[in-house]
């Protein structure tokens, strides 16, 4: 017959499983903010895109693609991590952006090995 009492081992096991899964969900590098900001309209074209994440990232396995009108790619230089902020990715633009709308697709690898990606858009006056 079923015993209504839960054993301490069963409770501890369930608690440990919950903690492990919740920690792994928190370990992903989520985009906290970016410059230019998502859905913003900037007066002056930026010289670089700066993305700040919730976790430290691996710059060698992180980067972004930016496209403008008609989905044309915009050339960018090698992505680098901010020396002071290891959770910040800086991607210099090889040419100044012209007026128009831009789409950014980013991907990062956090230092603990989790991959995340996303996208956002902004415009230049």
- CATH classification number, 29-124, choose in 1.20.120.140, 2.60.40.420, 3.40.720.10, 2.60.40.1220: 2.60.40.1220
Spatial separation of the C-alpha atoms in residues 60 and 54, rounded to whole Å? 18
Tell me how long the chain is.
125
Is a pLDDT exceeding 90 seen at residue 58? yes
DSSP letters for 28-42: S--EEEEESPTT-EE
pLDDT of residue 4: 53
The domain limits of the chain are 29-124
pLDDT digits (tens, 9 = 90+) for 63-119: 999 999 889 999 999 999 988 889 999 999 999 999 999 999 999 999 989 999 999
pLDDT of residue 61: 94
| Total-model pTM | 0.77
Listed residue (12, 120, 13, 114) closest to 62, CA to CA: 114
Higher pLDDT, 62 or 70: 62
């Amino acid at each position: 017959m079923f015993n209504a009492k839960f054993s301490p081992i069963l409770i501890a096991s369930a608690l440990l499983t919950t903690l492990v899964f919740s920690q792994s969900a928190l370990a992903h590098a989520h985009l906290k903010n970016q410059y230019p900001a998502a859905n913003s309209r900037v007066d002056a074209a930026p010289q670089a895109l700066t993305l700040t994440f919730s976790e430290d990232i691996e710059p060698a396995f992180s980067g972004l693609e930016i496209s403008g009108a008609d989905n044309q790619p915009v050339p960018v230089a090698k992505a680098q991590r901010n020396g002071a902020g290891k959770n910040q990715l800086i991607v210099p633009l090889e040419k100044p952006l012209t007026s128009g709308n831009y789409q950014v697709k980013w991907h990062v690898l956090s230092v603990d090995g989790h991959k995340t990606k996303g996208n956002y858009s902004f415009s230049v006056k």
